[in-house]
Amino acid sequence: MPTSQPPPTGAAEAENTLAGIGEFGLIDRLTAERAPTPATLLGPGDDAAVVAAPDGRVVASTDVLVAGVHFRLDWSNPEQVGRKAAAANLADIAAMGAVPTALLVGLACPPDTPVETLTGLTDGLWAEARSVGAGVVGGDVASSGTLVLSVTALGSLEGRDAVTRAGARPGDRVAIAGRVGWAAAGWAVLARGFRSPVAVVSAHRVPEPPYGAGPQAADGGATAMIDVSDGLLADLGHVARASGVRIDVRSAAFEVPSRLVDVGAALGVDPLHWLLTGGEDHALAATFPGALPDGWTAIGTVSEGEPEVMVDGRAYDGGPSGWEHFTR
């Protein structure tokens, strides 16, 4: 499974690989001409960054992406991988009801990694961060046999209370914002050796989290919220267990996109399975005691009972409910 681009050879190697330019030469290239964001009081170049925290609290989240596990450079280009790595963390910040402010990036890679690959990753990280008004404020580089990205996101609650997984109560409605199932369908297409439909494959390469829906939900009275990274049923299971409630999802509440219907027919997969169990779209799921904010769609209810997630009143029997490391 390819995890890095072929290294250049000959005299060009000194300029085009990490081994050629060295750690500090790489850092200089990756940080040059990057304008700071308003929350960045001190950016890359010192022992640590300084990021503004106006209300005295900082929301923080970390994810690790490993080549061959979370991404493949024969499926996605480096900029797409960078955007995906940033999105996975920025969505976690939004799921707390916060606004992202900054990213810290740890990068480990083989010495023969082309500089072009690393600049592409950085461009993607910056582009996704900039889309929500955040910036990359620092990080570290190390040598490794495998390309690994570790991204830490910081955010501000802007005076709100954090929305955790533990607040769902009987009588609440369950709702989602953003799309689900697309990234899983894209993975299935790529795994079969195809590169189209482009819209479906692109959903796997670069997710589109509804970042603004997190603070919106917090302002709208959400009692619990979570980023859908491993699969809707699996992640709602975290809410059910943290809140001590039962969640019942209605399959009829989902409108399966026609593009996923077509892909499912071609691959012999019920597309509803992707919507219920597919991860990496980074939609947001939340529970509300009253009216839903604009852009949120009701998909189920919360009730008393053993902490579990049911589909149409029954345990889901369509396969694994989502992704879990170390069990496959």
Residue ranges of the annotated binding site are 47, 61-63, 70, 92, 139-140, 165, 227, 229-230, 280, 323
Numbered residues of the known binding site for Mg(2+): 47, 61-63, 92, 140, 227, 230
**What span, in angstroms and rounded, lies between the C-alpha atoms of 307 and 310?**
10
Numbered residues of the known binding site for substrate: 70, 280, 323
C-beta of residue 136 within 8 angstroms of C-beta of residue 37: no
**Residue 305 CA to its chain's centroid (Å):** 31
What are the strands of the beta sheet with 297-303, ordered from one edge? 224-228, 283-288, 173-177, 297-303, 246-249, 308-311
**Residue 179 CA to its chain's centroid (Å):** 13
> % helix / strand / coil in the chain, to the nearest 5?
35, 25, 40
Q: Which residues of 66-93 are buried (b: 16+ CB within 10 A; e: fewer)?
A: ebeebbebebbbbbbbbbbbbbbbbbbb
Give SS3 for 258: helix
Numbered residues of the known binding site for ATP: 139-140, 165, 229
The answer to whether the bond into 197 is cis (omega within 30° of 0) is yes
Instruction: List residues bridging with 227 in a β-sheet.
Output: 284
